Amino acid sequence: MRNAPDLSFPRADLSRIPYGVYHDQETYEREQELIFRGPTWSYLGHEAELPNPGDFLTTYVGETPVILNRAQDGALHAFVNRCAHRGSVVRREVRGNARTHTCIYHQWSYNQAGDLTGIPFRNGVKGKGGLATDFDTACHGLRKLKVQSLKGVVFGSFAETPEPLLDYLDAPVVAHLERLMHSPIRVLGYQRQFIRGNWKLYTDNLRDPYHGGLLHMFQIAFGIARLSNRGGAMMDRRHRHNISYTAEGTDSPDGAKAYEQTARGQAKHQLADHSLLDMRHEWKDGLTLTIMSIFPNVVFQQIRNSLAIRQIRPKGLDAFELHWTYYGYQNDDDEMTKLRLRQANFAGPAGLISMEDGEAIELVHRATARDREAHSIVEMGGRGPIHDQDHLVTDVPMRGFWTYYCELMGFTPGSNM
């Protein structure tokens, strides 16, 4: 494979990213094939959303619409939400329960595994019309994905023989998923954010702990937390995924000092209502903020007691939807549920802590549309080999994302300059 004409990754350690990679249509088309329909596992949904036989939800893998369905026997199936006949969307609802899926256009119908089971007037009327007798319904089901669930989190892959899910995720990610999914969850609701920027600006944002205490100033302005808290970033062996973490209340005096150089660094405000800061320590590790990004399309958030799964749904080259599923545990008491609902104020499209991400991404997307051969600088935390970080002043995990991205896309970093 070749780099698109004006796209170059001049450094082998991925410390330079060409702006063009966020704006090139051909690259976007290839991402859909090579990444989302490639050897990766994408997040589809959570089993808690499909408790009963027949429950389904509509989701996306990249830009491809997908139905995730629990069959009568309890098994999970995922298949492309596009009719085999002439390509209509089959299921329009966001979720529901059904034994069959019938396309509205000519009423071809499919079972809970996506197999084609019904074709109206298949044999015509009075010997006229209909399909030829050799039409084989078995060859015209909805395209199926491999499905695997880990602690209730459902992943799907278009690959014939994908890497085993546990290998793909690797130990730190699996351990963190187990930490989050320690008991059955209950969905509290959804949020959606429509950001007018390329989806990879968001995966970058997630792997850049450096911006956390500089762009997002709510916690700093109100004296709640700082970049100088204990924190860091953990990765899998191939640096595809990333877990950024912080423990509050572990700040040091030079933290306050470092902020003296910034424009907005002083804690000069007090909350009028402190209940927003009420928190229960749920985990022994003391971590109060963990953001786990799994390549390519999902993020697991723990901000204090606010738990959410964020799915990235690309909507063309220039936009993506961020789809948030907030949850708690089935055995939460009412007070805990109240805490989680209140703390939902921290993140999401109106998040006190993180609303700025949407704006930052849109600003970068707008300003990089030209000068495609120019590059962004990814050197916080150093150049060269990628490894775990024990501080937050870093964007090293971004280079992990881009290493795997280039591998899948057939780009050879460091070769063009």
Partner 1 sequence: MIATETRQAISDLYANYAYYIDADRLEEWLDFFTPDCVYKIIPRENAAAGLPLSVMLCENRNMLRDRVVSLREANIYNLHVDRHFISGLRIEAPENGVYPVQANYAVYQTTAEGVSMLFSVGAYDDKVTFVNGVPRFKEKIVVIDTAAIINLLATPL
Q: Which residues bind partner 1 (CB under 8 A)?
A: 94, 187-196, 215, 217-218, 220-222, 264, 268-269, 271-273, 275-276, 321, 326, 337, 341-342, 344-345, 348-350, 352, 355-360, 362
Q: Which of 29, 33, 94, 105 binds ligand FES (CB under 6 A)?
A: 105
| Number of residues that this document lists for the chain | 417
Query: Considering the rule CB under 6 A, would residue 177 count as an interface residue with ligand FES?
Result: no
Q: Which residues contact residue 354 at a Cβ distance below 8 angstroms, ignoring those fewer than 6 apart?
A: 216, 346, 347, 348
The amino acid present at 379, given as its one-letter code, is E
Q: Which one of Fe ion, ligand FES, partner 1, none interacts with residue 379, CB within 5 to 8 A by kind?
A: none
Footprint on residues 61-100 left by ligand FES (CB under 6 A)? 83, 85-86, 88
Q: Which one of ligand FES, partner 1, Fe ion, none interacts with residue 83, CB within 5 to 8 A by kind?
A: ligand FES
Contact 43, 57 (CB under 8 A): no
On the CB side of 111, CA atoms within 13 Å amount to 11
How many residues form the binding site for Fe ion (CB under 5 A)?
A: 2
Q: Which one of ligand FES, partner 1, Fe ion, none interacts with residue 86, CB within 5 to 8 A by kind?
A: ligand FES
Q: What is the 3-state secondary structure (H, E, C) of 263-309?
A: CCCCCCCCCCCHHHHCCCCCCCCCCCEEEEEECCCEEEEEECCEEEE
Contact 65, 83 (CB under 8 A): no
d(CA 301, CA 292): 7
Stretch that binds ligand FES, among 91-99, 106-114, 138-146, 157-165 (CB under 6 A): 106-114
Q: Which one of Fe ion, partner 1, ligand FES, none interacts with residue 289, CB within 5 to 8 A by kind?
A: none
Q: Which of 72, 92, 100, 106 binds ligand FES (CB under 6 A)?
A: 106
CA 82, 83, 84, 85 torsion-angle sign = negative
User: What is Dmax (Cα atoms) for the chain?
Assistant: 88
Beta bridge partner(s), residue 243: 234, 292
Q: Which residues contact residue 107 at a Cβ distance below 8 angstroms, ignoring those fewer than 6 apart?
A: 118, 120
Footprint on residues 262-301 left by Fe ion (CB under 5 A)? none
Q: Which one of Fe ion, ligand FES, partner 1, none interacts with residue 113, CB within 5 to 8 A by kind?
A: none
In whole angstroms, how close is the CB of 376 to partner 1 at the nearest point? Answer: 19
Query: Considering the rule CB under 6 A, would residue 245 count as an interface residue with ligand FES?
Result: no
C-beta atoms surrounding 392 within 10 Å: 24
Query: Considering the rule CB under 5 A, would residue 55 count as an interface residue with Fe ion?
Result: no
Query: Considering the rule CB under 6 A, would residue 122 count as an interface residue with ligand FES?
Result: no
Q: Which residue is at the shortest CB distance from Fe ion?
A: 357
Contact 57, 81 (CB under 8 A): no
CB nearer Fe ion, residue 332 or residue 357: 357
Q: Which residues bind ligand FES (CB under 6 A)?
A: 83, 85-86, 88, 103, 105-108
